[in-house]
Amino acid sequence: MNCIFCKIIAGEIPANLLLNTEDVVAFPDLNPQAPTHILIVPKIHVENAAELAEMQPNALAELFKAAKKLAIELNLPGYRTVFNTGEAAGQSVFHAHLHLLGGRALGWPPG
Ligand code: DGP
């Protein structure tokens, strides 16, 4: 399967793994939108968060637990977690991933 995140999980493409558990990996986004921008990715290949909820709900919870752990480690006073679902919402990699953003004031509504 030609999936960039599956290749990172398999160690075929290098990434700075900040977390590597049974179900989840986390690494910095290549194109950061904030001083802290980490991708938290389930090891199972599913297209989006809703599919992950159907296929492996426990891994979905693990993504949010990982976000909390990383935010504490990085001393973030607050953070934003985002799933982009579908091209119209900006999804470009079709392997589910949770964006963890922080380290600056984050405006609302998002763009
Ligand atoms: P999204 O647009 O929501 O599908 O987010 C995909 C993100 O993945 C995007 O912000 C850039 C990031 N990305 C794409 N390819 C790579 C890669 O090879 N390594 C890393 N670290 N991030 C990547």
Domain containing 10 — which CATH number? Answer: 3.30.428.10
Q: Which of 37, 45, 97, 99 is catalytic?
A: 97
Instruction: Please work out whether the CB of residue 92 comes within 6 Å of at least one atom of ligand 1.
Output: yes
Quote the domain boundaries for residue 54. 4-102
Instruction: Please work out whether the CB of residue 5 comes within 6 Å of at least one atom of ligand 1.
Output: no
Tens digit of each residue's pLDDT (9 = 90 or more) over 6-63 = 999 999 999 999 999 999 999 999 999 999 999 999 999 999 999 999 999 999 999 9
Atom of ligand 1 nearest to the CA of 94: 4
The answer to whether residue 48 is domain-embedded is yes
The answer to whether residue 30 is domain-embedded is yes
The answer to whether residue 89 is domain-embedded is yes
Local structure of residue 53 (DSSP, 8 states): H
The answer to whether residue 107 is domain-embedded is no
How many distinct structural domains can be found in the chain?
1
Give yes or no for residue 69 having a pLDDT over 90: yes
Give the whole-angstrom CA distance, residue 37 versus residue 52: 21
Atom of ligand 1 nearest to the CA of 33: 10
Please say if 99 is a catalytic residue.
no
The answer to whether residue 110 is domain-embedded is no
Is the pTM value of this prediction over 0.95?
A: yes
Q: List the one residue out of 45, 65, 40, 67 whose CA is nearest residue 55.
A: 45
The answer to whether residue 55 is domain-embedded is yes
